[in-house]
Amino acid sequence: MKELRLQAAHRLVAADPERSYTGPAPDPLLAIPVLEVELNADGSVRKIVVLRQPREARDTTQLAIDAVRKAAPYGDVSRLPKPWRFSETFLFDDERRFKPRTLEP
């Protein structure tokens, strides 16, 4: 599943370059929503569950959900073991741009 998470993180950034960043995460971060994404065999999004909603900048949760949907499909996952599910932590900066935590060194 690590392969799926990494592939998905790269797709998230590639699909939305204006709303994402790849450099170091700022300190402090504006918000840190966490989503669980369940995929269909073809890589389309089946379900998104919010695992963590930030107290401040709550709109970033919807921005993260929109980014997940925009980056779909995530490729054929039928060769991977079920469930086809991954979680991602979104690191939002003050400009409401995100970085998937999976891409943090």
Compute the mean pLDDT over every residue in the chain, rounded to the nearest whole number: 95
Task: State yes or no: pLDDT of 39 exceeds 90.
Answer: yes
End-to-end CA distance of the chain: 18
CATH top-level class of 2-103: alpha beta
Predicted TM-score (pTM) of this structure: 0.94
Residue 105 banded pLDDT, cuts 50, 70, 90: confident
Question: What span, in angstroms and rounded, lies between the C-alpha atoms of 14 and 74?
Answer: 12
The pLDDT of 37-49, averaged and rounded, is: 96
User: Above pLDDT 70, what percent of the chain?
Assistant: 100
Domain coordinates in residue numbering, the chain? 2-103
Q: Which residues are paired to 31 by β-bridges? A: 92
Structure tokens at 24: 């170091």
Lowest mean pLDDT segment, chosen from 3-12, 25-34, 58-67, 95-104: 3-12
